[in-house]
Amino acid sequence: MKIISGNSNHDLSKEISDYTKIKLSEATITKFSDKEIFVEIHENVRGEDVFIIQSTSFPANDNLMELLVTIDALRRGSASRITAVLPYFGYARQDRKTGPRTPISAKMVANLITTAGANRVLTMDLHAGQIQGFFDIPLDNLYAQPLFTKDIIDNNRSENLVFVSPDVGGVMRARSFAKKLDADLAIIDKRRDAPGVSAAMNVIGNVDGKKCIIIDDLVDSGGTICNAAKALKDKGATEVYGYCSHGVYSGKALENIQSSMLEEMVCTNSIKPTFEIPKNMKFLSVAPLFGEAIMRINNETSISSLFD
């Protein structure tokens, strides 16, 4: 087995390497002066089971192209199996047509990864479950839930608790957490007037005098989760915490979160933070989760049992 790191999140790749006790393979992934991606693998990969770790986060197009070119280099180097490890799968929000003459970019990216030569994909908390069906190769979708439930219990947040979905689309995710910790469930009725702009309208469920945890798959500008926190406090919630799998944190996200009614914003390191982490924000490492999944894929053993 060999593990190769792209440039999107080298710190996470190193943590995964430490967990698996497999040294990262030597590779050059750089750009020519005109910004073309160039990749050279400095180790023999013939017949090897190779894992490429690369989140397609900002800059999404550069990181995606790095992934595709690296897959092609490995395919031409006769690797026996190539697994694209995407802690964060970019373009996942474009999983359906939202209007006339709009793309389904998540499907297009799936086609690109498959055509480049990947034999398998390993990712975490896809924005929409149906994206698994966009791939014609096996895909394993991991979940950050065990990390979050442990953090909730360790920080004594499991008493008098309500899990909150910030929109109707996330109800199944929030319900899963509520079932796991025997907590109540609430839903934010949200109206989105434009991409990246949201307004929390109503709270469905009782949150008065309760501790609330908002569960989402990703936070981008922070508008949704910050508006949801305000709506919950207005309805009598005593404390509000945010948990998300992928901290995109673009635009004024940090400013929005710091000035919000959230006690703490917790996410994973699937996307490398490029800023000084404020006091009310925390990152949990997914390295053990991905490291264990990589070893199980290599050994052809069950991954789903990780979440039993």
Please give the positions annotated as active site.
Answer: 190
Left if phi > 0, otherwise alpha if psi is -120 to 50, otherwise beta: which for 197?
beta
The b-or-e profile of 157-187 (16+ CB within 10 A means b, else e) is bbeebbbbbbbeebeebbeebbeebebebbb
Count CB neighbours of 296 within 10 A. 16
In angstroms, rounded to a whole number, what is the distance separating the alpha carbons of residues 211 and 25?
46
Concatenating the DSSP letter of every residue in 24-58 gives: BPPEEEEE-TT--EEEEE-S--TT-EEEEE----S
Name residues whose C-beta falls within 8 Å of residue 96's C-beta, 6 or more positions apart in sequence: 104, 128
> What is the distance between the alpha carbons of residues 73 and 69, in angstroms, rounded to a whole number?
6
- What's the angle, vertex CA 87, arms to CA 153 and CA 80, rounded to 5? 130
Neighbour tally for 90: CB within 10 Å: 25
- Name the β-bridge partners of 38: 30
Residue count (the chain) = 308
Structure token pair of residue 53: 């770790």
> Distance (Å, rounded) from C-alpha 54 to C-alpha 24?
13
**SS3 of residue 41 by DSSP:** strand
